[in-house]
Amino acid sequence: MRFLVTGGAGFLGAVLSNRLAAEGHQVRVIDDLSAGDPARLSGQVLFSRGSVLDRPRLWTLLQDVDCVYHLAARVLVSESVLYPREYNEVNVGGTVALMEAMRDAGVRRVVFTSSGAVYGEQAEQPVREDHTPNPQSPYAVSKLAAEYYVRTIGALWGIETVALRIFNAYGPGQTLPPSHPPAVPRFLQQALRGGSLVVFGGGAQTRDFVYIDDVVQALTAAATASDVDRRVINVGSGQETSINDLVQLVAGTVGQEVEVLHSPAQGGGVSRLCADITLAHRLLGYEPRVDLREGLRRTLKKDPRFAHGAIAA
C-alpha cells in the first residue's frame, strides 16, 4: 500500500513509518520538525519537511495514497494551557486542512491518533469509548474537536475514518522536553543520574502505560480492518498503574534505590485513567504483548540516552 504519515518523524510516527516501510509499503512522511527528527527514519521512507497547514504540499504528497496516518500535533498538556490558540490552529486547523486535501486527492481512509486525555476525570474505570468525554486541558479539547471533524468530514465526503485514542505511550526515543516531560523517560533519566524522582501530586493517581510496539500493532491493523469506519477505539495496555508503583518499577529496572520527592503544589492530573480495550481486541485483533516491567527494560536497553544504565537481572 501507499501511505502518508503526518508527524512521521516524531516518537510514534517514526516507529510506525519504519515498520510500514519494512513490510514493503511505500511510505511518505511530512513533519515540520518541531518535535521530530528525520534521522529516526530509515532510508526507505520518503521524508518531506512541511506543515499540515500547507495544503498545496499535502496535495502533492497525497497523490495515489491509499491511507493517511494523521499523527501531526502539538502534544504538551501544560503548554496547551498557556497557548490554546496555537493548539487549536495546529491540532484542529491542521486536521481540517488535511481532510480537505484528502478529499481533493481522492484518498479513501484516514487513521487519526487521538488521546485518552479526552476522557478526563471519570467515575468508572476502565473507560470505554461510549463514556462521555470530559476534556480538562486545551490539548484534550483539540483532540476531541479533531475527532469530530475527522468523523463528520469523512461522512460528508465518503472518506473512511477511524480514531484511535492512545493512552500513555512510552518506549525508546520518546521526546524529553524541558518542561513537563513524560513520566517514563523522566523517571528513568532521573534514576540513572542518581537524582531524586519528582512525583507531581501524591502519586496515587493511575495511568495506562502502553509500550510503543503495541501501539504500532494497533495502528497498522487499523489501515485495513473492516467495520471500523467512523469508529473511536481505545489503545492502551488495559492495566492500571499508579505513579508511585511506576517509581518502584523504574527503581527495580535500573537496579538501585531512588529517593522520591513529592510536589503537592503541582497537580498530578486526573485521579485515575485506564483503557477498556475490548473494542480494539474485537475490531483490530489487538493484544498488548509487552507489560510495563518488560517495556521499561526494553526502553532502558534500546534507548541510546540510557545506554550506560544498569539493567537489573
Q: Which residues are catalytic?
A: 139
> How far is the C-alpha of 297 from the C-alpha of 35, rounded, in Å?
25
- Cα 2 to Cα 77: distance, rounded to the nearest angstrom: 32
CA neighbor of 72 nearest in space, from 55, 42, 102, 92? 92
Distance CA 197, CA 179 (A): 15
Helix (H, G, I), strand (E, B) or coil at 120: coil
- Of 288, 173, 181, residue with least CA distance to 234: 288
All 3 cell numbers of residue 53? Answer: 497547514
Radius of gyration (Cα) for the chain, nearest Å?
19
Q: Are strands 241-242 and 206-207 parallel, antiparallel or unpaired?
A: antiparallel
Rounded CA-CA distance 78/241 in Å is 22
DSSP string for 252-271: HHHTS---EEEETTS----S
The residue to which cell 512522511 is assigned: 29
Nearest to 181 by CA among 200, 164, 202, 206: 200
User: Are the C-beta atoms of 170 and 182 separated by less than 8 Å?
Assistant: yes
Residue entry with cell 495496555: 237
Answer whether 112's CB lies under 8 Å from 124's CB.
no
Cell of 257: 534505590
Longest dimension (CA), the chain: 57
